[in-house]
Amino acid sequence: MPASQHRHATREAKIDRWLRGELLVFLLPIMTSSTVLGEPSYSINKVEHLYGDSRQVGVTSAGNWVVAYLQWQTADDPPP
């Protein structure tokens, strides 16, 4: 396994046990079969305009959100 992939695969066994023990529920099938959005995708980026929130920052991809969150966590005085 490449080092970058190994870095992100740190809890596979625990998550597997939780899934097998039915402690976690995969919500996508429930959402897509119980909700009709009129959007081609259920991605938060595609549906956030439906609930009226406007984005306060210009982060547009999942990778950039991870970076922004890590920067927020390590900031000297993160906002509430």
Condensed to tens digits (0 to 9), the pLDDT of residues 6-28 reads 677 788 888 889 889 988 877 87
Distance CA 17, CA 7 (A): 20
Low-confidence ranges of the chain (pLDDT < 70): 1-6, 53-59, 78-80
Assessment of whether the complete model's pTM goes beyond 0.95: no
Helix, strand and coil percent figures for the chain, each rounded to 5: 55, 0, 45
Which of the 8 DSSP states describes residue 72? H
Which of the 8 DSSP states describes residue 6? H
